[in-house]
């Protein structure tokens, strides 16, 4: 099944998705990886987490005449963020985009979904990013670890883990 | 020289070598699982965009690793180290690459610092192999300090276990480099250097070649598939390099490379002529 979705996500939409579905996601997503997760958990998020979708991604970004442009932006290995998963989902996040899969249990418990994009396909993923809306913690964390606020359009994703805990991955750890 | 190294880095990160692309196309043809096809189709599109638009195929342009064979009679020995560092700095700004060097203590991102492996060789040429190595695949590296009794069977078991443990994390379909023999560090270094050989090429020793083939077949029977979501192709190739071992030891270094196998070579002649290839 192919579905078009727009952020922020609500529970009703999320519960309709099944592992293996193709989703075209539009709206705003937030990049966050290792250090950003730690900061969000320690200091709180600089954006509204309710219904939000975060993207496990450390993009290549170029500044051109005062504006940021995403050059290449594929997913990073999500399993590294497994240790923060329970807490981050309990804060209201409804979707996580990444690669390689995660522990499915917390997705079931918090009624959230894991979307997979193809690792390494950064040049292709960048085509779905329309613009950079903002960036948080750039100075402190550097380009790959900062939280980039991205507007995406029809980002093609596979539901890797659905809100019932069904997972396409045999080894999520 | 800096300009030539810059060009080689750019070639490596924007153009996936033909032998790798051919094996990815082959994998796409073999696949009938729709999710595996989705991933392989995205991979082939990303390869095409990188080449056409001269942008990095993968956003993780990796730890840029250089293997330098420095001819002891080359007139450029004094300059090569500095040229690599400055070419990498320029590449980071202009291609651009992702700044990937973090201070371990402070987490401060300082840009890109090269990792250089040096080897002195006879002659007047300098040969440089460039291997930008992404974090996802590098995190799957392993060292198995086996006993001689475990031997090649032990290596096979260690590799299969590691492939299963890592699942989708190293961005399969992967290329696996294995270094057998030497000491702990040389086994790992050989494993990484093994990745520089073209996909599809077998080891010149027939027994090692057979081991490569058997291992590849066994890995692809696991069903992990592209991105770990199931499918026929988990590895594009397995490369083994060997060295003499201590009587008590049978070390095996295992290094994974993601499908986005970035690689380039350059050779600097004594008259300053440069040749770049993949």
Query: Quick check: A58 and B229 CB within 8 A?
Result: no
pLDDT higher than threshold 90 for residue B174 = yes
Q: Tell me, yes or no, whether A164 lies in a domain.
A: no
Q: Given the cut 0.90, state whether the ipTM is greater than it.
A: yes
Residues in chain A with CB shorter than 8 Å from the CB of B230 are 168, 170
CATH of residue A103: 3.20.130.10
pLDDT higher than threshold 50 for residue A173 = no
Q: Tell me, yes or no, whether A168 lies in a domain.
A: no
State pLDDT tens for residues A101-151.
999 999 999 999 999 999 999 999 999 999 999 999 999 999 999 999 999
Long-range interactions of B98-107: CB distance < 8 A, separation 24+: B98/A58, B98/A59, B98/A60, B98/A72, B98/A143, B98/A144, B98/B56, B98/B59, B98/B60, B98/B61, B99/A142, B99/A143, B99/A144, B100/A144, B100/B60, B100/B61, B100/B62, B100/B63, B100/B135, B101/B63, B102/A142, B107/A35, B107/A141, B107/A145
- For residue B194, what are its two tokens? 């093994």
Q: Tell me, yes or no, whether A165 lies in a domain.
A: no
DSSP secondary structure, chain A, as one string: -EEEEESSP-HHHHHH--TT-EEEEEEEEEE--HHHHHHHHHH--SS--TT-EEE----EEEEETTEEEEEE-PPPBGGGGHHHHHHHHHTT--EEEEBS---SHHHHHTT-EEEE--TT-HHHHGGGEEEEEEEESHHHH-TTTSEEEEEEEEEEEEEEE-TT--BS-S---
Mean pLDDT of chain B: 97
**What's the confidence (pLDDT) of residue A82?**
97
Query: In chain B, what percentage of residues exceed pLDDT 70?
Result: 100
Split into its structural domains, chain A has a count of 1
Q: Tell me, yes or no, whether A85 lies in a domain.
A: yes
Closest CA to B129 of B50, B189, B79, B173: B189
Check if A168 contacts B (Cβ < 8 Å): yes
CA distance B165 to B211: 21
3-state secondary structure of B89: helix
**What's the confidence (pLDDT) of residue B40?**
98
**What's the confidence (pLDDT) of residue A70?**
97
Which of A35, A60, A156 lies closest to B97 in CB terms? A60
Check if A62 contacts B (Cβ < 8 Å): yes
CB B196 within 8 Å of CB B65: no
State pLDDT tens for residues B192-233.
999 999 999 999 999 999 999 999 999 999 999 999 999 999
Q: Which residues pair with A77 in a beta bridge?
A: A99
Band (A172; pLDDT cuts 50, 70, 90): very low
Q: Tell me, yes or no, whether A163 lies in a domain.
A: no
State pLDDT tens for residues A31-76.
999 999 999 999 999 999 999 999 999 999 999 999 999 999 999 9
Count of alpha carbons within 13 angstroms of residue A160, beta-carbon side: 32
Q: How far is A118 from chain B (nearest CA, A)?
A: 5
- Residue ranges of the domains in chain B? 2-11+57-134+262-277, 136-257
Q: Which residue of chain A has the CA closest to B262?
A: A120
Find the angle CA(B150)-CA(B156)-CA(B158) to the nearest 5 degrees. 80
Query: Quick check: B59 and A122 CB within 8 A?
Result: yes
Query: Quick check: A76 and B135 CB within 8 A?
Result: yes
Q: Tell me, yes or no, whether A100 lies in a domain.
A: yes
Element (H, E) at B145: strand B142-146
Q: The CATH number of B2-11+57-134+262-277 is which of 3.30.360, 1.10.10, 1.25.40, 2.60.40?
A: 3.30.360
CA distance A49 to A54: 9
Domain span at residue A39 reads 2-156
Closest CA to B2 of B101, B76, B109, B111: B76
């Amino acid at each position: 099944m192919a579905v078009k979705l727009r952020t922020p996500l609500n529970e009703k939409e999320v519960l309709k998705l099944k592992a293996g579905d193709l989703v075209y996601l539009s709206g705003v997503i937030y990049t966050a990886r290792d250090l950003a997760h730690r900061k969000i958990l320690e200091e709180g998020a600089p954006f509204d987490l309710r219904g939000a979708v975060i993207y496990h991604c450390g993009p290549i970004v170029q500044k051109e005449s005062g504006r940021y442009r995403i050059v290449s932006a594929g997913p990073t290995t999500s399993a590294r963020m497994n240790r923060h998963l329970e807490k981050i989902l309990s804060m209201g996040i409804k979707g996580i985009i990444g690669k390689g899969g995660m522990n499915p249990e917390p997705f079931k418990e918090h009624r959230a979904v894991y979307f997979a994009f193809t690792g390494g396909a950064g040049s292709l993923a960048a085509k779905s990013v329309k613009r950079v809306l903002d960036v948080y913690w750039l100075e402190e964390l550097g380009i790959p670890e900062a939280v980039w606020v991205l507007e995406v359009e029809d980002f093609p994703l596979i539901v890797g883990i659905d809100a019932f805990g069904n997972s396409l991955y045999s080894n999520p750890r | 020289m800096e300009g030539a190294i810059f060009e080689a880095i750019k070639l490596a990160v924007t153009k996936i070598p033909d032998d790798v692309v051919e094996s990815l196309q082959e994998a796409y043809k073999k696949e009938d699982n729709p999710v595996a096809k989705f991933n392989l189709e995205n991979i082939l599109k990303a390869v095409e965009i990188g080449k056409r638009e001269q942008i990095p195929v993968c956003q993780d342009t990796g730890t840029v690793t250089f293997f330098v064979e420095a001819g002891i009679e080359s007139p450029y020995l004094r300059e090569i180290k500095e040229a690599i560092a400055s070419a990498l700095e320029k590449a980071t700004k202009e291609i651009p690459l992702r700044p990937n060097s973090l201070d371990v203590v402070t987490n401060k991102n300082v840009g890109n610092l090269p990792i250089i492996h040096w080897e002195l060789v006879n002659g007047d040429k300098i040969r440089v192999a460039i291997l930008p190595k992404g974090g996802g695949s590098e995190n799957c590296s392993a060292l198995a300090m086996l006993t001689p009794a475990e031997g090649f069977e032990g290596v096979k078991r260690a590799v299969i276990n590691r492939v299963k443990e890592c699942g989708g994390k190293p961005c399969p379909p992967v290329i696996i480099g294995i270094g057998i023999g030497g000491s702990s560090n040389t086994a790992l270094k050989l494993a990484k250097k093994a990745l520089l050989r073209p996909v599809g090429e077998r080891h010149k020793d027939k027994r090692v070649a057979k081991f490569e083939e058997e291992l590849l077949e066994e890995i692809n029977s696991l069903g992990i598939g592209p991105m770990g979501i199931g499918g026929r192709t988990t590895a594009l190739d397995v490369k083994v390099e060997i060295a003499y071992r201590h009587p008590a030891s049978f070390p095996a270094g295992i290094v994974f490379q993601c499908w986005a196998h970035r690689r380039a070579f350059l050779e600097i002649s004594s008259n300053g002529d440069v040749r770049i290839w993949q």
